[in-house]
Amino acid sequence: LKRHDFYDYWGKEEKNIKVISIVCMIILSILSIVIFLLIETVENLKNIEMPLVYIAGSLKLIYKYLYGVVILSSIFTTAISAS
């Protein structure tokens, strides 16, 4: 690699990083707003331990099980990374 090729490569890489960061920020912001709006629509969530599971179960039963799978996979990946 010549010197200018090296800097040209990293310049393109930096542009990709910026684009990916902006896209991820937009996706996370949208998901956060959706979760907040879901929680705001349901009353009496103070006594519920897992409000999103309650909301998913109230929509359709399949959503409750799908969210359960997401939670179990999160616990599994946390246990693997901790050991």
Phi and psi at residue 2, to the nearest 5°: -85, 165
Assess contact for 45 and 39: CB atoms under 8 A: yes
Quickly tell me which residue has 């009353």 as its tokens.
43
Q: What is the mean pLDDT of residues 62-80?
A: 90
Residue 12 has pLDDT above 90, yes or no: no
33 — pLDDT class (breaks 50, 70, 90): very high
Q: What is the mean pLDDT of residues 23-49?
A: 89
Residue 16 has pLDDT above 70, yes or no: yes
Q: Residue 54 class from Cβ within 10 Å (0-12 exposed, 13-18 middle, 19+ buried)?
A: middle
State how far the Cα of 72 lies from the Cα of 68, in Å rounded to an integer. Answer: 6
Q: What is the mean pLDDT of residues 3-18?
A: 64
CA 19 to chain centre: 18
